[in-house]
Amino acid sequence: MQRVCFLLKVRNEKKDEYTRRHSEIWPEMRIALSEAGWNNYSLFLREDGLLVGYLETEDFEAARAAMEATEVNARWQAEMAPYFEALDGRAPDAAMSPLVEVFHLD
């Protein structure tokens, strides 16, 4: 199982709304994530807007590609893009750059 951790930056003025939107995630988005192999997926938001994402999957690139192929992901990413800083024209999920794991306690 591959553990993936990534960082994004939520716009300060959008933090509360971003949090609220994730408490109301669409059921079809939950299903798509699960079917694409996004396991134990969590998001953590620091007060300054730093977003830390974590998931476990067999193959992150395959899991990301499986989500990219869904219509619900395209809609969700389009709605979420305005919440983030520094996407450089990419969708939020395309801007996810996994951190290098340096330690894991088994």
pLDDT in tens, 12-68: 999 999 999 999 899 999 999 999 999 999 999 999 999 999 999 999 999 999 999
Whether the pLDDT of residue 86 is over 80: the answer is no
Alpha-carbon distance of 93 to 8, in angstroms, equals 10
* Catalytic member of 12, 16, 17, 22: 22
pLDDT class of 90 with cuts at 50, 70, 90: confident
Confidence (pTM): 0.90
Q: What is the pLDDT of residue 89?
A: 80
Q: What is the pLDDT of residue 94?
A: 84
**In-domain check, residue 106:** no
**In-domain check, residue 94:** no
CA distances from 47 to 62, 75, 80, 90 (A): 32, 27, 19, 24
**In-domain check, residue 95:** no
| The one-letter amino acid at 73 | N
Domain that holds residue 44: 2-83
Query: Are the beta carbons of 13 and 105 closer than 8 angstroms?
Result: no
**In-domain check, residue 34:** yes
Give mean pLDDT, residues 6-16.
Answer: 96
Q: What is the pLDDT of residue 2?
A: 95
Q: What is the pLDDT of residue 55?
A: 97
Whether the pLDDT of residue 88 is over 90: the answer is no
**In-domain check, residue 98:** no
CATH number (domain holding residue 8)? 3.30.70.100
**In-domain check, residue 102:** no
**In-domain check, residue 92:** no
Whether the pLDDT of residue 91 is over 90: the answer is no
Residue 60 three-state SS: helix
Query: Are the beta carbons of 33 and 41 closer than 8 angstroms?
Result: yes
Counted domains in the chain = 1
Active site (annotated) includes residue 104: no
Comparing C-alpha atoms, which of 45, 41, 38 is closest to residue 8?
A: 45
DSSP 17: H
